Amino acid sequence: MSKKIKSILATDCGSTTTKAILIEWKEDRYRLTFRGEAPTTVEAPFEDVTKGVLNAVMEVEELSGRTILDGDQIITPENGKSGVDIYVSTSSAGGGLQMMVAGVVKSMSGESAERAALGAGSIVMDVLASNDGRLPHEKITRIRQLRPDMILLSGGTDGGTTTHVMELAEILAAANPRPRLGQNYKLPVIYAGNNKAQESIKSTLGEISDLDIVDNIRPVLERENLEPSRDKIHDLFMEHVMAQAPGYKKLMSWTDAPIMPTPGAVGSLIEMIAKKEGISVVGVDIGGATTDIFSVFEEKFNRTVSANLGMSYSICNVLAEAGLDNVLRWVPFDIDRSELTNRIGNKMIRPTTVPQSLEELVIEQAIAREALRLSFIQHKAFATSLKGVQSERTISDAFEQSSSGQSLVNMMDLDLLVGSGGVLSHAPRRQQSARMLIDAFMPEGITQLAVDSIFMMPQLGVLANIDKEELKDDASQAALEVFDNDCLIRLGTCVSPVGKAKPKSKMADVTMSFKDGSTKTIEIKEGSLEMIEVPYEEVKVHIEPSRGIDVGAGKGEPLDSIIYGGVVGLIFDGRNRPITLSTDPSQRIDSLLNWSSAVDEYPKGDLF
C-alpha cells in the first residue's frame, strides 16, 4: 500500500519537558519508532520554545540515525534517510491556555461555556454569572486580577431577553481586562450568547476588546452547541496566545497543522476512540500541577481540569483537600505524621525528586489515589446532562427522583479506563498502576484498564485532527494505529460486583473459558481482591452474581461476556463500592497487605 505520509515528527511542548516522537510506516502499519526529550525553553534565559524542540528532535536524530534537522529547520518532506513528511505539535508551556468564561445562569449557560472552554483544552480560571452571588464591583476586581488569555461570554437563548447578558457585557467593559501576555494587544473576547444581543454586544465590547461573535452556545435550553465556540477558541489560541509566547511564531511556521493546546489534543483523541469503538471511556492525566479527566458517556464528551491536584507542585494541596487521614488510610505501616507532612512539603518545593525507598513509593502512590479520587469527584459533578431542561413527566415518573443535571458518569457503563502521567505511566510495577486506578475510580461491573506508555496521547491527538485533505486520512490512521500498538498498554480487566453483601459472603461465581480451551471458576467474596495472570487475549466469562448483586446485567442477573487480559491480567474486586477501610488500624493494615499480596503489587520484604 502506498502512503502519502511515511514519516511523522510530533512534539509536545509541556511546561517542563518537550517530548518528540518519530512515527514511521513500517511494512503495513504505522509504528512509533523513536522518542526524545529535552527541557522546555519558554522561560529565561532562553525564552524561545523552538530551542527545546530542536534539542528533543536532536535526540530523536541521534537514536534513529535519520537526519531531520538542517541547522534550525526541520527537513520536509522525507527524502530517503533524511527529513520527515510532516511535523505537528501541541503545547501547554507557559501555563497553557487560561480562560475566563461568563454566562447568565451559572448552572446553565455558565456551565455550557465552561464545557466549551475545557473541551478546547483551556484552564478555566473563573466562571462569572449573573447569579453567582458576587456584586458587580467584586466581579470587576476579579476580572482585573486574573488577566486571562481570553474570555468566552454566553447567556440567553436565541431571541430571548437580552438584559442579563448585556449586564455581563457591561461588567466586562467596565473591567477593561488586559491579556496575560503582551501589553499592546486587545484581549480576545468570544461572544456566544443570544443572537438578538449581538449588535449591542458589538457596541459595548467592540472598542475595548478583540471581539468575535459565534453561534449561541445554548440556542435553546434543551440543546448545547459547543462546536463553534471550541473552534473559535482554537483559532484564537493560535492567533493571539501562541503568537505572544516566546518562539511560537517560529514554531507555528514549521508545523503542518495548527498547534493545539495539549489537553485539547488528548481530549479529541479520547473522543475519537470512544466513537470508533462505540464504548464509554474515562481517561486521566495526572501531572505535577494538575489532573485532567476526560470522559465519554452516552456519546457526550466532557473534560475537567483539577487545577491544584497534582503530584509535585500541587502535592500539598492534595494533602490539604483530602486530609492526612485519607492519605494515610492507604499506607500499611505507621509513620510519624509531622515528619510525613515535612516530606510531602519537600516534594512540593523540590518537585523533580523521585522515590528511592519502597516506603516513599507507597506514600507517593497513596497520595496519587487521593488526587485521582478527588479529581474524579469533581469530574462527576461537572459531567452532567443539561441543567434547566424541562421534561414532560407522566404519572409513572412521579415517584422517580431523577431531574435534569444528573451526572452522565455511570461506572457500571464504563468500558475502558485509561491512565497517564508519571505516577501511573512510570510506576515500577504495572500492578501498582492498576491498583491506583481501581482504588481511586472504583469501576463497577466489567472495566478494561490501560495506561499510556510514555504519554504520547497529545501528539497522537493533534495528528488525528489534521484538516488538510491530502494528509488527513493517513494522519488519522497513523494516530489510531500507534495508539493501539504503541501508546496503550493494556493492563487487563477489572470485574467488580456491587450490591449489599455481608462481609466475606459470596458476591459472584465467575467461570472463565480461555483461548487454549481450558476453563477456571472462581468465587468472588466480599472484601477480597484476586488476580489471575492472563495475557492480552479474549477470555469468555459467565458470571453468576448472588441475590442483590449486580455485575452489569442487573441485580442477581447472570452475565455472559468477553473480557481481555493484559500485562497485569484479570482482577476480581469484591471490595464493594465505595471501598471502605476499617477504622481499626490493625484490621486496615491487614486488608491492605492482603490486597497488595493478591496482585503482587510490591516486592516482598520488611514492609510487605
Partner 1 sequence: MAHSYTPGLKVLKKTLFRKERILPLKGKVLVKKGDKLSPDTVVASTNLPGNVQMLKVNNILNIEPRDVVDCLVVKEGDIVKKGDMIAETAGIFGMFKSFVDCPVDGTIESISESTGRVIVREVPIPVEVDAYVSGTVDEVIEKEGIILKCDAAFIQGIFGIAGEKRGELVLVSNNSSDELTSDQITEEMAGKILIGGSFLSLDAYKKAMSCNVAAVVVGGFNYYDLKAVLGYDLGVAITGTEQLPTALIVTEGYGSIPMSDATFDLLKNNHGNEASVNGATQIRAGVIRPEIVIPMLSESEAEDSLSKEPEGIQEGSTVRVIRSPNFGKIGTVSSLPSELKKMESETMVRVAEISIDGVDTLILPKNIKRR
Q: Which of residues 1-30 bind partner 1 (CB under 8 A)?
A: 15
CA distance 522 to 530: 9
Region of 69-77, 89-97, 434-442, 457-465 interacting with partner 1 (CB under 8 A): 89-97
Q: How far is the CB of 210 from partner 1 (least distance, A)?
A: 19
Place of cell 462569572: 128
User: Of residues 27, 80, 278, 350, which one binds partner 1 by CB under 8 A?
Assistant: 350
CA distance 311 to 20: 23
Q: How far is the CB of 156 from partner 1 (least distance, A)?
A: 12
Is 553 among the residues that bind partner 1 (CB under 8 A)? no
CA distance 411 to 432: 21
Fill in the DSSP letter of residue 93.
G
Is 200 among the residues that bind partner 1 (CB under 8 A)? yes
Is 120 among the residues that bind partner 1 (CB under 8 A)? no
User: Of residues 280, 314, 384, 528, which one binds partner 1 by CB under 8 A?
Assistant: 314
CA distance 331 to 368: 12
User: Of residues 361, 457, 479, 539, which one binds partner 1 by CB under 8 A?
Assistant: 361
Q: In whole angstroms, how far apart are CA 34 and each of 20, 80, 355, 437?
A: 8, 17, 27, 28
Q: Could you tell me which residues come within 8 angstroms of residue 133 by beta carbon, excluding any fewer than 6 positions away?
A: none
Q: Are 287 and 310 in contact (CB under 8 A)?
A: yes
Is 343 among the residues that bind partner 1 (CB under 8 A)? yes
569 forms beta bridges with: 492
Is 173 among the residues that bind partner 1 (CB under 8 A)? yes
Q: Could you tell me which residues come within 8 angstroms of residue 118 by beta carbon, excluding any fewer than 6 positions away?
A: 124, 302, 303, 304, 305
Is 329 among the residues that bind partner 1 (CB under 8 A)? no
Q: How far is the CB of 334 from partner 1 (least distance, A)?
A: 15
Region of 69-77, 81-89, 123-131, 353-361 interacting with partner 1 (CB under 8 A): 353-361
Total residues belonging to the chain:
608
User: Of residues 137, 223, 393, 504, which one binds partner 1 by CB under 8 A?
Assistant: 137
Q: Are 461 and 452 in contact (CB under 8 A)?
A: no
User: Of residues 198, 341, 404, 582, which one binds partner 1 by CB under 8 A?
Assistant: 341
Q: How far is the CB of 603 from partner 1 (least distance, A)?
A: 6
Strands (E), 69-226: 69-70, 73-74, 86-91, 97-103, 122-129, 150-153, 188-191, 210-213
Is 191 among the residues that bind partner 1 (CB under 8 A)? no
Is 95 among the residues that bind partner 1 (CB under 8 A)? yes
Is 154 among the residues that bind partner 1 (CB under 8 A)? no
Is 476 among the residues that bind partner 1 (CB under 8 A)? no
Cβ proximity to partner 1, 14 vs 264, nearer residue = 14
Identify the CA nearest to 344 among candidates 375, 322, 373: 322
Q: Are 156 and 197 in contact (CB under 8 A)?
A: yes
User: Of residues 17, 308, 385, 404, which one binds partner 1 by CB under 8 A?
Assistant: 308
Region of 108-116, 175-183, 508-516, 558-566 interacting with partner 1 (CB under 8 A): 175-183
Region of 5-13, 239-247, 352-360, 387-395 interacting with partner 1 (CB under 8 A): 352-360
Q: How many residues interact with partner 1 (rule CB under 8 A)? A: 60
Is 79 among the residues that bind partner 1 (CB under 8 A)? no
User: Of residues 73, 82, 141, 391, which one binds partner 1 by CB under 8 A?
Assistant: 141
Place of cell 503530584: 311
Strands (E), 281-361: 281-286, 291-297, 300-306
Q: Are 127 and 118 in contact (CB under 8 A)?
A: no
Region of 24-32, 390-398, 422-430, 477-485 interacting with partner 1 (CB under 8 A): 422-430
Identify the CA nearest to 166 among candidates 140, 146, 194, 189: 194
Cβ proximity to partner 1, 176 vs 580, nearer residue = 176
User: Of residues 67, 70, 73, 349, which one binds partner 1 by CB under 8 A?
Assistant: 349
Q: How far is the CB of 306 from partner 1 (least distance, A)?
A: 12
User: Of residues 275, 276, 393, 426, which one binds partner 1 by CB under 8 A?
Assistant: 426
User: Of residues 52, 83, 94, 419, which one binds partner 1 by CB under 8 A?
Assistant: 94
DSSP codes of every residue in 412-446:
GG--EEEEESHHHHT-SSHHHHHHHHHHHH---EE
Is 171 among the residues that bind partner 1 (CB under 8 A)? yes
Identify the CA nearest to 484 among candidates 453, 440, 520: 453
CA distance 600 to 35: 30
Site residues (vs partner 1, CB under 8 A): 15, 43, 93-95, 136-137, 140-141, 162-163, 166-167, 170-171, 173-176, 183, 197, 200, 204, 289, 308, 313-314, 316-321, 338-339, 341-361, 426, 428-429, 603
